[in-house]
Amino acid sequence: MRKVLYNRFGDEQVVEVQEQPTPTITEEQLLIQVKAASINPLDWKIYRGEMKLMSGSKLPKGVGIDFAGIVRQVGAGVTRFRVGDAVFGLLGVFKGGALADYVAVTEAAIALKPAAISFDQAASLPVAGLAALQLVDQLAAIGKGHEVLLNGATGGVGQFAIQLAKKRGARVTAVAGQAGAPRATQLGADLVVDYTRQDIRQLTQRFDTIIDLSDKLVFKVAKKLLKPKGTFVNTLPSPQGLVLSFFHNLFSARKRKILILKPTAAGLSTLAALAQDELQIPIERVYALADIRQAYQETSRGNVKGKAVVVL
């Protein structure tokens, strides 16, 4: 089978499609034929070697976290799925390997694909959707009437976070580039700020929650836009950041938190229900596996606004 791997850390030139044996499954696993896998910024942060503390340095390593496909084999201990089921899910975030014709997973890593969405849409949901759920419902605990600022609102995570925050009854100010502004409005944002034209430091409004998805907003700036008991969340886990946040939160009413994605089967089921219902899942770009370097070149340089998927 084909699988995207890399043998050294570096830019997208290190990733390549190689022939590998199809995985064999244990009694507790299923073999999934992957129809589509999505691209996430975590992919390039890992293959560039920026997250070695979490991903480890052992090579070769597979690329890709979330996928959608069809169950082709089930182990004797599998109870919830059958051969032929259409499913979506994710591998261990730092393990990688979803960009492959087949993956071996446990039941906890997948959910049935809602009939209402395509394989491409289902593949783009797990990482970005679970991140949005964790940010909105757990880290920020967004509720009715909350004033929320989403910085980087039309990327993979942001487009789901807008919809979830609105569903929880918040008033959402979305910060997006010029091209993303109409989409932010269409996804439900109450107010859109174009970061190429307006500096968010000039905003006079104060927020209960600020979620930064751009990796560019530092707490020092964000805290001036927070209400006295507001919460700032970013998505850059680092030992230094976690320690800083811990000590900061001991002494300040304004909290700072960091997303460390914790995938759960319950989270996947919630996403499936939302997708079957009304969640919009825009796909911005679709690539063939053979064009994987081009895919990472374009997405990692910010040339794709929203989710990109790779079809297998």
**Residues making contact with ligand NAP (CB under 6 A):** 40-42, 45, 127-128, 131, 151-152, 154-158, 175-177, 179-180, 195, 213-216, 235, 237, 259-261, 302, 305
Q: How near is the Cβ of 131 to ligand NAP at its closest, in Å?
A: 4
Q: How near is the Cβ of 258 to ligand NAP at its closest, in Å?
A: 7
Q: How near is the Cβ of 28 to ligand NAP at its closest, in Å?
A: 25
Helices (H) and strands (E) in the chain, counts: 10, 16
| Distance in angstroms (rounded) separating the CA atoms of residues 154 and 162 | 8
Nearest one of 30, 29, 33, 28 to 1, comparing CA atoms = 33
For ligand NAP, give the closer residue by CB, 208 or 212: 212
For ligand NAP, give the closer residue by CB, 25 or 176: 176
Instruction: Using CB positions, name the residue nearest to ligand NAP.
Output: 155
For ligand NAP, give the closer residue by CB, 59 or 236: 236
For ligand NAP, give the closer residue by CB, 75 or 282: 282
The answer to whether 248 and 80 have CB atoms below 8 angstroms apart is no
Q: How near is the Cβ of 247 to ligand NAP at its closest, in Å?
A: 20
Q: How near is the Cβ of 45 to ligand NAP at its closest, in Å?
A: 6
Nearest one of 172, 152, 175 to 162, comparing CA atoms = 172
For ligand NAP, give the closer residue by CB, 102 or 195: 195
Q: How near is the Cβ of 218 to ligand NAP at its closest, in Å?
A: 11
For ligand NAP, give the closer residue by CB, 195 or 207: 195
Nearest one of 154, 155, 196, 148 to 173, comparing CA atoms = 148
The answer to whether 217 and 159 have CB atoms below 8 angstroms apart is no
